[in-house]
A = this chain, B = another copy of it.
Amino acid sequence: MSAEQEAAQREAKAGTEARRRAAADKAGSDPGAHDKGGGPTAGRNLLFLREEELRLAQDLLFFGYRDFTAGADAILAELGMGRAHHRVLHFVGRRPGITVGDLLAILSITKQSLGRVLQPMIEEGYVVQIAGAADRRQRLLTLTERGRDLERRLFDRQRETVMAAYREAGPGAVEGFRRVMRGLMGPEARGLLRSIEDEPTIRERGR
């Protein structure tokens, strides 16, 4: 056995040991680890993010997000589209008349990347652009009937997934889910989300 392989076996052993410790921690069999600091006890344990808790969050986000998008991805693939097309359908559907610039800001991609996705969608009749009335340089984006139909198909597919998850988890869990997801978002994304939810058009978001 090479020296490298011997080292590797030591590595593997160390990893197994770490996992054993984490499992013990999860089982709550180590009261000494809690309540450090002496503040009010309630909530402390959950607020102190133990290693295994974050690892679980990572796993949940990875698998959960993937399966959330899987159904829509399958429909899109049949049409020769990808997730990027869905995002355009989603946000243009959510805010008809959105400008190209605002869509770019929401998606956080470059003009070029958007163009590669958007141009074919316009040519194939999913989206139309009309010049802005006030500012004729703008190209206001709106879904056509066809675009709305496709968006609806994708939406319905995802609805099944989310509905099942919500039903299984219960109403209280849904509120918690929303709070945590919002918390994961940075300030810019929160602002964008607020403007998507509240304002008549995204352009009024005070800039």
Interface residues of A, Cβ cutoff 8 Å to B: 4-5, 7-9, 11-12, 14-16, 18-19, 43, 46-47, 49, 54-68, 70, 87, 90, 93-97, 108, 128-130, 140, 142-145, 155, 158-159, 161-186, 189, 192-193, 196-197, 200
Bound state CA distance, A163 and B161, in angstroms?
27
Contact call B60/A181, Cβ cutoff below 8 A: yes
Q: Which of B46, B68, B171 contacts A43 (CB 8 A)?
A: B171
Which residues of B are found within 8 Å of A179, using beta-carbon distances?
A: 168-170, 173, 176-177
Instruction: Count copies of this chain in the complex.
Output: 2
CB-nearest residue of chain B to A133: B9
Task: Determine whether the beta carbon of A165 is less than 8 Å from that of B180.
Answer: yes
Taking a contact as CB atoms under 8 Å apart, the answer to whether B180 and A67 are in contact is no
Q: A61-B68, A63-B193, A184-B162 are in contact. Are A8 and B130 (CB under 8 A)?
A: yes
Q: How far is the CA of A94 from the CA of B14 in the complex (A)?
A: 12
Interface centre among A5, A7, A162 (most CB of B within 10 A): A162
Assembly CA distance A56 to B8 (angstroms): 47
